[in-house]
Structure 1
Amino acid sequence: MTLFTFHALGARNFDDHPDLEVLGKKIVDKCRGLPLAVKTLAGLLSFKVSPREWQGILNSKIWDLPQESHDILPALKLSYLHLPLNMRRCFAYCAIFPNDYEIERDELIHWWIAEGLLDGKEGESRWNVGLKLFNELVSRSLLQESSSSESQFLMHDLVSDLAKLVAGATYFISGVFDLEGDQNNAFLARHASFISSEHIVQERFKIYHGMNGLRSFISLAKQPKYYGKSYLSEKVLGDLLSELKYLRVFSLCHYHIREVPNCIGKLRHLRCLNLSYTDIKTLPESIVALYYLKALMLRGCQNLIELPEAGEGDIELPSKLETMDSQNCINLEKHPSEIYTISSLQDLTVVGCPKLVSLSEIGLPPQLEFLRILECENMKQPAREWLTPLTSLRSLDIDGRAGRVGEEKDLVLPLPSSLLKLDISDMEKVERLSSNLPPSLQILWIFNCPKLRELPKAGLPPSLKDLRIRDCGILEKRCRKGTGSYWPLIREIPRVRLGDDEFKSIT
């Protein structure tokens, strides 16, 4: 009952809603002592205080259906049936993950976007719609946080079984289903994952060649947290891509591949291309023909030297590109200037690119919403030059090496009023955070700024929900509970983490 009350009402008891207590007890009784069932139903009723809604859950006919030992829990069926339609489709997409697989939140949202599963209000980005939907699945306990990372999530085995049940034959996981039966129904598959191994031979891809209508092909590690690379010949990869002409999502990470077959340019429907942690040195020129490409992920491609420039005539870089991730591309010397003229670009990650001297002579696109620029020690371009035009920025991660912003005692950054998250790190000489923080700011993280002693004189914005300070000895001391001079300023922030200590709001 305590667990149910906490997740349904955000309280420890029914004192504020006595009319719901009897209904709550009856619902909990039907869960037969299973915490997952209790949490899931409580998430369904989260902050709904109408007795009629609670009575509707209690009187559902699903409770009366006969249940086999291997069947899905009625509580989980109820939770799924009460999801909005677009949320059902996004939940069913999770059927591509095997049990116990750690799901990367940002990757999954990119796949939802590429598959056209997210519809938002006019003016609202699909990324924000996806993030809200993902958080809703977490709040309903259909996804749960992993203990290894804040960005990774798991599905309980029973929830995973539910996803596979509702997804049906349109989803396929290699090595999970009966191969002979799947061979006959391969043409029905629209979304498939492939469990990698050290060496990939043609035979392992044979079943995928019959999936002519496949829209997602996603390679997954054999085991969670396994990052060894797999060997795959260019011919085997080329033969696969030649068969899958309608792909929208193609993700092939942690592979020993040096070249991407030129035929990838024929995947005209492709929206998301992820080649992270491969050995590629460059991308084929044919990639400029991917007109609908929205996300290009090249994280950890340490041999990557350059990206293709726009060709002559009518060929240009993908004009609908929204996300570009070149994290830890340590040999990448420059980005093509055409990237920064793309009017749809919203998310740019430039991390661990020591040879990069500047972002762009023409500046960053003003509509950019998410920017991460870290560990680029040779970048001499002043941060003010590329930050000032970014009037729509919602999230900024920056360290002292980006434009040498950490070499002054006063940290002054032109922060737009739209900013929701600010993450600053490795500012070894900075003593004062002099920039006035936007009133809309919700997240402020400050890491490894050992000399930092002062927060902005204007104070912290009232909207701040998450403050984290680590490896900032002087500032941490001034913020400590009961003793620091800044404690009265931060004591009512919902979440405060100082070093390894975390404090919750006292209000």
Structure 2
Amino acid sequence: MGTVPPHPLKKLSDNDCLAIFAQHSLGPHELLEEIGKKIVTKCDGLPLAAQTLGGLLRGRHDRRVWEGVLGSKIWELPEQRCRIIPALAIGGCKKVVWESATGHLGSQNSVVCRDTSNQVFFAGPLKPQLPKLEELEINDMKEQTYIWKSHNELLQDICSLKRLTIDSCPELQSLVAEEEKDQQQQLCELSSRLEYLGLSDCEGLVKLPQSSLSLSSLREIQISSCSSLVSFPEIALPSKLRKIDIWHCDALKSLPEAWMCDANSSLEILTILFCDSLRYIAEVQLPPSLKRLNIMMCDNIRTLTVEEGIQSSSSSRRYTSYLLEGLYISCCPSLTCIFSKNELPATLESLEVGNLPPSLKSLGVESCSKLESIAERLDNNTSLETIDISNCGNLKILPSGLHNLRQLQEIKIRACENLVSFPEGGLPCAKLMRLEIYACKRLEALPKGLHNLTSLQQLKIGTGGELPSLEEDDGLPTNLHSLEIDGNTKIWKSMIERGRGFHRFSSLRRLKIMNCDDDTVSFPPEDIILGTTLPLPASLTSLWIFFFPNLERLSSSIVDLQNLTELVFWGCPKLKSFPEKGLPSSLLKLRIVNCPLIEEKCRKDGGQYWDLLTHIPSVLIDI
């Protein structure tokens, strides 16, 4: 190799830098192209600067944003204060060699290597020349089965490396050649720095190499589109590892039990997407340190754990104390239950519903069509703060014990078409602030005791089955700040026909009524008993009226709402008149959509009501 001259490394040309910037910003809009070129010029040939700023401006076409980046004071900062990470990217090279000859690389912090011969020689050693290198990207090494050997290698040359990304290396099997005797020594040298490891599009990788989990300083691992990856080494995770993302690994069949049982684990966030061979996450328990678990688009997953063990007195194995606070499951069509309490050996065809970890604070389940119940009981889940269940068509009941969740602040149940009822005990009173029930076609009644929910501020009752009218002693809580009723005629009419009206809701700020009344001609409607217009609360700031097919006019009492700032009419084809006194002087926004008669009268060019609208800053009329 002594006959091969050193290859001096230079910064990228402006054209190469522009290509990187355009790739990550999805290409500047024509009107922004000149600003983009000026930004690229300021990147001074540094690829990571172009990549970072391109990603920052991705999809943002506001000229002021681009000009703000161009005029930013970051360009004036000295190098030691600039937070753009120095990077080395090696692309399209079959063979990379560092020579012992003395060469001068200058003070460059970023190096990009491209060579049509697919063989590049760097003069070295690199350690004294690139002391600030923190990020290394290796791309398109088509024939490499490993990245480094141990003699005179990168592990000892680059002393500040914190992030390592390996992409599109289809033959990769390991980071370091396994036959090297001093492999572990070199890993230890790297382990004192490396915090992030990313592997993507490494199609030949069947099992994650043990070396990758021997790096003690790792804090995050991201693995994506490794289509042949079946398993991970059965060893404990690095003690500092906090986050694992696994995406598009279709062959992955299981996660190591060593991850699940390690009392010294620091893993806090686990995200798994598009892993269709996974049928469960763990046999007995999830990692005891785990705080957030996200499972999405895993078509064949049946349950998170096969044996629950929390409540099972006959089980010889029990959960370590859980820290799990957030659980989100989406688009897992084979999910039967979240946690199973079956004893091992168990079959995934007949799982018995278990309970949720008592530490759980947030539960979200979406589009899991086979899920019948989220838990056996909720009595022990006193830490739960939010429950969000949607598009679970087989869910028929909610667990008992719901009323005991003293920390619960939000419940959203949407598009669960077979849900029949809420538990007998009703809902918790102490802290519940938001309740949303939408598109539950078979729901027979609202939860009992709604009027006792003194902390409730937001209530949405949406389309689905026709819920029965409110009982005399079980109306809605009067402390509401926001109320939305969509497609529930009986509830709407029970509020206005019994003289209840809305004036009792002295804190109500937002009222949205949709698809609720085919008979109302005037709004606010009249009290049938007293023959007067039902008053709206003076506190109201936003009023939305949607799809009242026979509504013809607004009552003059609307003018008295001196706190009203937003008024919206949508789909009221017969609406044709406003009060003679006009609309409230406090209005800031008026929107009228699909109301042809009143739209014509509100035209700026000669419309009958235009003069009544000139004080409103924002008037949007769909004509």
CA-to-aligned-CA distance 1:125-181 (integer Å, 9 cap, x gap): xxxxxxxxxxxxxxxxxxxxxxxxxxxxxxxxxxxxxx999xx9422211389999x
Q: 1:363 aligns with which of 436, 450, 460?
A: 450
Is 1:259 the equivalent of 2:337?
yes
- Inter-partner Cα distance in structure 1 for 2:592 and 2:307: 48
Return closer, same or farther for 1:424/1:217 CA change in 2, 3 Å cut-off. Answer: farther
Q: State, as a whole percentage, how many aligned pairs show the same letter.
A: 19
- Inter-partner Cα distance in structure 2 for 1:391 and 1:455: 30
Q: 1:293 aligns with which of 384, 389, 403?
A: 384
Which residue of structure 1 lines up, in the alignment, with residue 24 of structure 2? none
Written as runs of structure 1 = structure 2, the 5 A alignment for 1:108-257 is 169-175=241-247, 187-202=265-280, 205=281, 211-221=287-297, 230-234=299-303, 236=305, 238=307, 245-255=322-332, 256-257=334-335
CA contact (8 A) 1:388 1:414 kept: no
CA-to-aligned-CA distance 1:174-212 (integer Å, 9 cap, x gap): 1389999x979993321221113445234xx36996732
Written as runs of structure 1 = structure 2, the 5 A alignment for 1:401-480 is 401=489, 402-404=491-493, 405-407=516-518, 408-412=520-524, 416=537, 421-434=542-555, 436=558, 439-441=562-564, 443-454=566-577, 459-460=583-584, 462=586, 464-465=588-589, 467-480=590-603
Which residue of structure 1 lines up, in the alignment, with residue 398 of structure 2? 307
Count, aligned residues: 363
- Inter-partner Cα distance in structure 1 for 2:283 and 2:616: 53
Return closer, same or farther for 1:238/1:192 CA change in 2, 3 Å cut-off. Answer: same
Letter in 2 for 1:348: L
- 1:291 shift after superposition: 0.3
- 1:273 shift after superposition: 1.0
- Inter-partner Cα distance in structure 1 for 2:422 and 2:562: 33
Return closer, same or farther for 1:210/1:282 CA change in 2, 3 Å cut-off. Answer: closer
Does the residue aligned with 1:188 lie in a helix, a strand or coil?
coil
Return closer, same or farther for 1:458/1:477 CA change in 2, 3 Å cut-off. Answer: closer
- 1:449 shift after superposition: 2.9
Which residue of structure 2 lines up, in the alignment, with residue 153 of structure 1? none
- Inter-partner Cα distance in structure 2 for 1:195 and 1:474: 50
Return closer, same or farther for 1:275/1:175 CA change in 2, 3 Å cut-off. Answer: closer
Letter in 2 for 1:287: L
Does the residue aligned with 2:355 lie in a helix, a strand or coil?
helix
CA contact (8 A) 2:575 2:598 kept: yes
Does the residue aligned with 2:597 lie in a helix, a strand or coil?
helix
- 1:419 shift after superposition: 5.1
Does the residue aligned with 2:81 lie in a helix, a strand or coil?
helix
Is 1:396 the equivalent of 2:473?
no
Q: What's the RMSD between the two structures over aligned residues?
A: 4.9
Return closer, same or farther for 1:67/1:474 CA change in 2, 3 Å cut-off. Answer: farther
Q: 1:334 aligns with which of 417, 421, 444?
A: 421
CA contact (8 A) 1:292 1:318 kept: yes
- Inter-partner Cα distance in structure 1 for 2:276 and 2:563: 48
- Inter-partner Cα distance in structure 2 for 1:188 and 1:201: 25
* Consecutive unaligned residues in structure 2, runs of 5 or more: 1-37, 45-49, 90-108, 111-219, 223-239, 311-318, 342-353, 494-515, 525-533
- Inter-partner Cα distance in structure 2 for 1:35 and 1:410: 54
Taking structure 2 as the reference length, what is the TM-score of the superposition? 0.47
Return closer, same or farther for 1:389/1:239 CA change in 2, 3 Å cut-off. Answer: closer
- Inter-partner Cα distance in structure 1 for 2:88 and 2:615: 48
- Inter-partner Cα distance in structure 2 for 1:64 and 1:305: 53
Does the residue aligned with 1:187 lie in a helix, a strand or coil?
coil
Return closer, same or farther for 1:183/1:294 CA change in 2, 3 Å cut-off. Answer: closer
Does the residue aligned with 1:174 lie in a helix, a strand or coil?
strand
Which residue of structure 2 lines up, in the alignment, with residue 504 of structure 1? none
Higher relative contact order (CA 8 A, sep 6+): 1
- 1:55 shift after superposition: 6.0
- Inter-partner Cα distance in structure 2 for 1:493 and 1:471: 20
CA contact (8 A) 1:400 1:428 kept: no
CA contact (8 A) 1:303 1:331 kept: yes
CA contact (8 A) 2:366 2:390 kept: yes
Q: Which has the higher strand share?
A: 2
CA-to-aligned-CA distance 1:283-303 (integer Å, 9 cap, x gap): 434223210111111212222
Q: Which has the higher helix share?
A: 1
Q: 1:372 aligns with which of 447, 460, 466?
A: 460
Return closer, same or farther for 1:471/1:65 CA change in 2, 3 Å cut-off. Answer: closer
- Inter-partner Cα distance in structure 1 for 2:275 and 2:374: 24
Does the residue aligned with 1:286 lie in a helix, a strand or coil?
coil
- 1:403 shift after superposition: 2.8
Does the residue aligned with 1:275 lie in a helix, a strand or coil?
strand
- Inter-partner Cα distance in structure 1 for 2:286 and 2:536: 52
Taking structure 1 as the reference length, what is the TM-score of the superposition? 0.56
Structure whose CA Rg is larger? 2
Written as runs of structure 1 = structure 2, the 5 A alignment for 1:75-94 is none
